[in-house]
Amino acid sequence: MYTFLTTSSWADYELLDAGNFEKLERFGRHVLARPEPQAIWDPHLPASEWQRAHATFTREKGSQERGTWRIKPGTTEQWIIGYERPEGLKLRFRLGLSSFKHVGLFPEQDPNWQFIYEQTRKRRTPQPRVLNLFAYTGAATLAARAAGADVTHLDSVKQVNFWARDNMEASGLDGVRWLVEDAMKYVRREVKRGSRYQGLILDPPAYGRGPNGEKWQLEDELNEMLKLCQQLLDPQDHFFLINLYSLGFSALILDNLVTDIFGRPAGQREIGEIYLHDRATRKLPLGTFCRFAT
C-alpha cells in the first residue's frame, strides 16, 4: 500500500511556510529561509514573516546547491537542538550553516528515526548489528545506537563523520564504529566475508564521490547495491530502510526494485512518500522511502 509519512510534533523543529521555491523553518530558536525546488506554490505567510528569518540562503549564480547565508547580527552559525519522543528516544544535534544550504539534519526523517529505534528494540538477536550507509551526520545511526545496536556508520566524507561524532557525544552515546569508505566497495567486501546484519539503512544521494574519487550515480548503482544488501540481511531477524531524495525516482521504482530483489517480506512493508507540513497544512514532498521488517 502506498504510504505517506510526515514528522510528528517536535518542540525544536517546525516548517513555518513554503512557497516560491523556498521554505521557512524553525530549528530551535533559529528561523532559516532556504531554497526548496519542490515548493512551486505561493507562500502562505506574508513577506514580513520571511524577513524575520535569522539567516537566509542565496544560491550562487548557476549553482543548484552552493551559495551564501545572509546572517542577522547576533545569530550564531552553530547551535544545538533537542529531539525527544514518547517511546524513549532522546537525541541532540549540532546544527550549522553550510555553504550547500544544508544545516546537518533532515527533519522529515523523524518517522524513520522512530522506525529504526523501535525496530532495533524488537530484534530477537542480542545487540543487533546495524549498518548505516551514506550516513551523513548520523541521526539514524544514533537512533539505532540508542536502542542498543552495534552500529557501523559509513560515509565517504571525513568531516561529516566528525560532525556525526559530535552529535553522538552531545546525545550522551558512545560505541559507534565510524568508517570513511566508498559504500559499494565496503558492501561488496562484507558480502565476501559472509557478514550479516539485523538492520540496514540506506540514504543514498543522486550523485556522489567516494573518498578516493569513486563515482556514485543512483540510477546506475542502486540495483547492484540493493542486491548486495539483500545478501547482508539476516534472513530470520531484520529490518530494512531506504530513503531517496532524487526527484526522478518515484516510489513505484522502489517498489519494483525491492519486490524483485527482496520478494514480498513476511512482515509489513511500507512504501511511499515522505513530507513535511507547514502551518497552513500544505504538504511539502521530500523524498520516497521503503521499509520493512521481519
Residue pair 20/289 in contact (Cβ under 8 Å)? The answer is no
* Adjacency order of strands within the sheet including 129-133: 2-6, 269-277, 283-293, 239-244, 199-202, 129-133, 150-155, 177-180
Tell me, what's the pLDDT at 268? 79
CATH tag for 2-79 (out of 2.130.10.10, 2.60.40.1180, 3.90.550.10, 3.30.9.30): 2.60.40.1180
pLDDT of residue 265: 66
Q: pLDDT value at position 266?
A: 62
| pLDDT the model gives residue 264 | 79
| Residue 75: alpha-carbon gap to chain centroid | 26
DSSP helix/strand/coil, 239? strand
Which CATH number is associated with domain 105-293? Answer: 3.40.50.150
**Residue 163's pLDDT is what?**
97
CATH 3.40.50.150, the chain: domain bounds:
105-293
pTM of the model: 0.96
* Distance of alpha carbon 101 from alpha carbon 97, whole angstroms: 7
CA distance 98 to 95: 9
pLDDT block averages, 10 residues each, the chain of length 294: 90 97 97 95 97 94 82 96 95 94 96 98 97 97 98 96 98 98 97 98 92 91 97 96 85 93 82 95 95 95
